A = this chain, B = another copy of it.
Amino acid sequence: MLLTILGTGSGGPFLGRNFTSQILRAGNDLFLLDCGEGTQMQLFRLGVRYDRLRHIFISHLHGDHVFGLVGLLTSFSLKNRTAPLALYSPPGLRELVETTFRVCGVRLSYRLDFNEVEADVSSRVFENAGLEVWTVPLRHRVPCTGWLFREKPRPRHMRGEMIEVYSIPYEKIPALKAGADLTLPDGRVIPNRELTTPSDPPRAYAFCSDTAFSEAVADMVRGVDLLYHEATFTSDEEEEAAFSFHSTAGQAAEIARRAGVGRLLLGHFSGRYQDLEQHLREARAVFDAADLAEEGGHYEV
């Protein structure tokens, strides 16, 4: 999986940082996470070929996470898109989008599937051959959910030379990759470990957009390879963070530490900070593998 950051700013007037939005590539699939105003501009500027986007996940309905959605959906239509598009969000998105389109006379050229999910329980909301997506309930002013992308266990790798050695027919290979032993015509059984090597470990990415510090989040994102966690403030604004249901960089790092994640990306920075060195310092004091998300940056999961 590869994550591309489109915006690292938080709510409030535009002060040079784009609003929250990310692209997650997983194999041939492309997922958009949040869609603040200007997301379609960022997709263009960063050269993301987003025509094959089929799934958009919106964490909550605050403007800095959703006000770019109607523009993006309309633009797809003006390019005569026909492939259906699925939306996942807390309740309310359908009313927002449908009212906007009715008032503005937008008739989409493609089907929109709304999946309004409960933001306060952890549940699987999407699944395809390669991965699952789970909600990650967050603590915010309004119903808000993070998203956990978890790859499914992958097939083991065949040792190519064994196919010849044992004259393995093609149709038996999927079972062997899934872990079965091989029974030869003469009755001999070849154990799977002689025929295959271990699969790549499934990877996991968790996106925690807007949340007050919450230990429950650490439980839900345990062991993910990459955690994006908002870090709106530094520690001197811890009170304001609590009041506005946001986190400090140190709190984000504390979640990463407790969850034992591989790497932490910080984002959703308040416009009051020009310089983000203090965010980084405070996070690394708690969890070493922490970085500031950068707009246009690509991050391997």
Contact = CB atoms under 8 A, between A and B. Distances in A.
B70 A104 contact: no
Contacts of A104: 61-63, 66, 92, 96
A239 to B, nearest CB: 18
A41 interface: yes
A42 to B, nearest CB: 9
Contact of A96 (B37, B43, B68, B103): B103
Interface in A71-104: 71, 74-76, 78-79, 92-93, 95-96, 99-100, 103-104
B75 A13 contact: yes
A283 B145 CA distance: 53
A16 B44 contact: yes
Interface in A11-45: 11-16, 37-38, 40-41, 43-44
A44 B142 contact: no
Contacts of A44: 13-16
Interface residues of A, number: 37
Contacts of A76: 13
A105 interface: yes
Contacts of A114: none
Contacts of A141: 105
A105 B92 CA distance: 10
A129 to B, nearest CB: 30
A63 B67 contact: no
B75 A12 contact: yes
Given A63-B71, A67-B70, A142 B105 contact: yes
Contacts of A180: none
A67 B61 contact: no
A289 interface: no
A65 to B, nearest CB: 9
Contacts of A14: 40-41, 43-44, 75
A62 B100 CA distance: 10
A164 B256 CA distance: 80
A13 B142 contact: no
22 contacts: A11-B78, A12-B79, A13-B40, A13-B44, A13-B78, A13-B79, A37-B41, A37-B67, A37-B68, A37-B71, A41-B41, A61-B105, A63-B71, A63-B74, A66-B104, A67-B67, A67-B70, A67-B71, A67-B74, A92-B104, A93-B103, A99-B100
Complex A-B, nearest 6 residue pairs according to Cβ-Cβ distance, in ascending order? A13-B75, A37-B71, A99-B99, A12-B78, A92-B103, A96-B103
Given A93-B103, A99-B100, A100-B100, 20 more contacts: A11-B74, A12-B78, A13-B44, A13-B79, A14-B40, A14-B44, A16-B44, A37-B71, A38-B38, A61-B105, A62-B105, A63-B70, A63-B104, A63-B106, A67-B70, A67-B71, A92-B103, A92-B104, A95-B103, A96-B104
